[in-house]
């Protein structure tokens, strides 16, 4: 097959050669040779799986030079020679901690990073602080608190951004004026400080504001600090002073309506935001490095772009009321980082796992695909390599449930419940839609790895294979 009609790829981290989607072998077991009297190139691979020999013949001079360049670069950079290689730790000078020199420029202005919450009997003031050219600049959000047991209006009726900038002295004068004007009902009270606004949510009654009160730095990627949530709070937007109805009074009132409110609030509190949630003030964590480098404008308004933003629903109403600097985007997943030294050179290895919000759920309860083409518990894993010379390499891998209509009955008292096909799709419409979404998100080519068992004593996983055959 001519080289122009296929893809010969090199995985620098694992040392593997791929011919299209097929794993051929490692570079240490390969050879690239010219065929005398012709311009043809013969490449021989040794399979890393079973030791079989593969030979591929190409006919272009430039392709041979490119392959040879990659081979030499790979061998000199990532492989240690068998003979005459001293221990790098004993001969190399001591290195300073890894400091990347490359910083990805992001068009979106950074969100506010410091908040202070004040309240009167009927208004909650959210004061943000940011660094500008002229020094510290402050902005204010005003939230009108609910006085009734049930508020059915939209968020935009109670949430107001005054769109003004205040200096420190101007802010102090404003807060003092508000305090003097509300002395009869308790004045202006400072509640707490916060690091980020996660969003707003309403169940059956009033709104709640979800805020991150403490952040923990986890590492630096592409010049941007990545944080995990170390503390958070859920602030009920109800009155608490004077003769008004308090939050505790509302929830203590016996009614079916408020019982549902407590139920949903309890379910929401079961999600621990201190475990597996990450954010960055300056870097779009929900997108891959390739997308962030090639795309100037970060439009996250559609589902395809926001599928990895976990708090999209919490921000759905807020984003229509205030500017984008008032909130941060969260991802759920994993952020790991390791500094390495190889051949006296430093590089940083970063792993980011992003879980999709589109069809998420507990294991066994969320399986297969939905009608929109999203598969259950889809996770995008990105590996980023940065070196001292600002060279960057990124590899993206996606995993998800088998894209067919299937389920597992968890009521069966067995370790692995049997697979059940719940709906037939003879034209593979949802599977085709799923592939279309992948092409829109990642472009071509897309390599698909089938991890379903080929041989089983008792057919189990193969039942899922029957619901989605090779139709790519």
The SS3 call for residue 384 is: strand
Q: Which residues neighbour 399 within 8 Å (Cβ) at sequence distance 6 or greater?
A: 378, 379, 381
pLDDT at res. 124: 93
Evaluate whether 138 touches 165 at the Cβ level (below 8 Å).
yes
| Separation between Cα atoms, residue 176 and residue 188, nearest integer Å | 8
Of residues 450 and 157, the one with the higher pLDDT is: 157
Reported as a single tens digit per residue, the pLDDT across 371-381 is 999 999 999 99
Of residues 33 and 73, the one with the higher pLDDT is: 33
pLDDT at res. 142: 95
pLDDT at res. 23: 47
Give kind and range of the element (H or E) at residue 143.
strand 135-144
- pLDDT-based confidence at 39, cuts 50/70/90? low
Q: Tell me: pLDDT of 47 over 70.
A: no
Picking from 406, 373, 405, 387, the residue whose alpha carbon sits closest to that of residue 307 is 373
pLDDT at res. 334: 94
Reported as a single tens digit per residue, the pLDDT across 413-438 is 777 788 888 888 888 888 889 989 99
CA dihedral sign of residues 91, 96, 97, 101: negative
Q: What is the mean pLDDT of residues 269-290?
A: 91
Q: Which of 7-21, 256-270, 347-361 bottoms out in mean pLDDT, i.e. has the lowest? A: 7-21
Q: Tell me: pLDDT of 264 over 70.
A: yes
The SS3 call for residue 284 is: coil
Q: Which of 71-75, 165-169, 445-449 bottoms out in mean pLDDT, i.e. has the lowest? A: 71-75
pLDDT at res. 61: 54
Q: Which of 28-37, 313-322, 431-440 bottoms out in mean pLDDT, i.e. has the lowest? A: 28-37
pLDDT at res. 115: 94
pLDDT at res. 272: 92
Q: Tell me: pLDDT of 9 over 70.
A: no
Alpha-carbon distance values, 180 to 138, 174, 213, 243 (Å): 21, 10, 28, 19
pLDDT at res. 91: 35
Q: What is the mean pLDDT of residues 173-187?
A: 90
Round the average pLDDT of the chain to a whole number and report it.
77
- pLDDT-based confidence at 5, cuts 50/70/90? very low
pLDDT at res. 280: 93
Q: Tell me: pLDDT of 85 over 50.
A: no
Q: What structural domains does the chain harbor?
A: 3-79 (2.30.29), 114-323 (no CATH), 358-466 (no CATH)
Give DSSP secondary structure letters for 161-175. Answer: E----B-HHHHHHHH
pLDDT at res. 89: 37
pLDDT at res. 93: 36
Q: What is the mean pLDDT of residues 147-159?
A: 82
pLDDT at res. 51: 59
Alpha-carbon distance values, 338 to 153, 213, 343 (Å): 49, 27, 16
**Tally of residues, the chain:** 472
Reported as a single tens digit per residue, the pLDDT across 100-117 is 556 777 777 788 889 999
pLDDT at res. 10: 47
Q: Tell me: pLDDT of 180 over 50.
A: yes
pLDDT at res. 68: 56
Using the structure block, give the residue that is written with the tokens 């609030």. Answer: 265
Q: Which of 22-26, 286-290, 317-321, 466-470 bottoms out in mean pLDDT, i.e. has the lowest? A: 22-26
- pLDDT-based confidence at 318, cuts 50/70/90? very high
Q: Which of 58-72, 75-89, 354-368 bottoms out in mean pLDDT, i.e. has the lowest? A: 75-89
pLDDT at res. 243: 41
The whole-model pTM stands at 0.72
Sheet holding 16-19, edge to edge: 8-11, 16-19, 22-26
């Amino acid at each position: 097959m001519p080289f122009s009609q296929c893809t010969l790829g090199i995985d620098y981290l694992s040392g593997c050669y791929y011919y299209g989607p097929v794993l051929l072998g490692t570079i240490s077991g390969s050879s690239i040779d010219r065929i005398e009297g012709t311009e043809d190139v013969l490449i021989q691979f040794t399979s890393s799986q079973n030791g079989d020999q593969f030979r591929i013949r190409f006919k272009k001079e430039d392709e041979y030079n490119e392959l040879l360049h990659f081979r030499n670069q790979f061998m000199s950079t990532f492989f240690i020679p068998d003979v005459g290689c001293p221990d790098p730790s004993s001969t190399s000078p001591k290195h300073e901690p890894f400091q990347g020199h490359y910083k990805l420029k992001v068009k979106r202005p950074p969100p506010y990073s410091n908040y202070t919450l004040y309240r009167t009997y009927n208004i909650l003031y959210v004061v943000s602080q940011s660094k500008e050219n002229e020094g510290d600049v402050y902005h204010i959000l005003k939230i009108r608190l609910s006085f009734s047991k049930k508020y059915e209006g939209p968020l935009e009726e109670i949430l107001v951004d005054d769109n003004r900038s205040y200096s420190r002295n101007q802010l102090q004068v404003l807060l003092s004026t508000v305090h003097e004007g509300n002395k009869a009902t308790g004045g202006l009270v400072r509640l707490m400080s916060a690091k980020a606004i996660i969003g707003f949510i309403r169940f059956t009654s009033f709104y709640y504001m979800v805020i991150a009160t403490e952040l923990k730095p986890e590492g630096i990627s592409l010049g941007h600090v990545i944080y995990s949530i170390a503390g958070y709070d859920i602030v009920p937007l109800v009155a608490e002073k004077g003769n008004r109805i308090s939050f505790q009074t509302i929830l203590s009132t016996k009614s079916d309506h408020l019982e549902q409110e407590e139920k949903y609030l309890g379910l929401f509190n079961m999600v621990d935001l201190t475990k597996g949630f990450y954010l960055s003030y300056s870097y779009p964590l929900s997108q891959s490095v390739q997308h962030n480098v090639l795309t100037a404008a970060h439009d996250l308004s559609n589902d395809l772009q926001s599928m990895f933003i976990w708090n999209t629903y919490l921000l759905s109403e807020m984003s229509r009321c205030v500017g984008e600097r008032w909130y941060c985007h969260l991802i759920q997943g994993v952020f790991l980082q390791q500094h390495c030294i190889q051949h006296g050179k430093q590089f940083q290895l970063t792993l980011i796992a992003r879980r999709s919000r589109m069809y998420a759920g507990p294991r066994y309860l969320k399986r297969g695909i939905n009608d929109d083409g999203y598969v259950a518990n889809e996770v995008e894993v990105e590996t980023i390599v940065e070196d001292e010379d600002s060279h960057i390499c990124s590899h993206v891998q996606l995993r998800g449930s088998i894209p067919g209509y299937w389920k597992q009955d968890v009521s069966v008292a067995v370790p692995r419940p049997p697979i059940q096909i719940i709906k037939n799709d003879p034209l593979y419409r949802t599977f085709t839609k799923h592939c279309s979404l992948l092409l829109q998100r990642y472009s071509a080519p897309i390599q698909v790895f089938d991890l379903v068992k080929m041989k089983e004593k008792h057919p189990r996983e193969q039942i899922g294979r029957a619901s989605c055959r090779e139709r790519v």
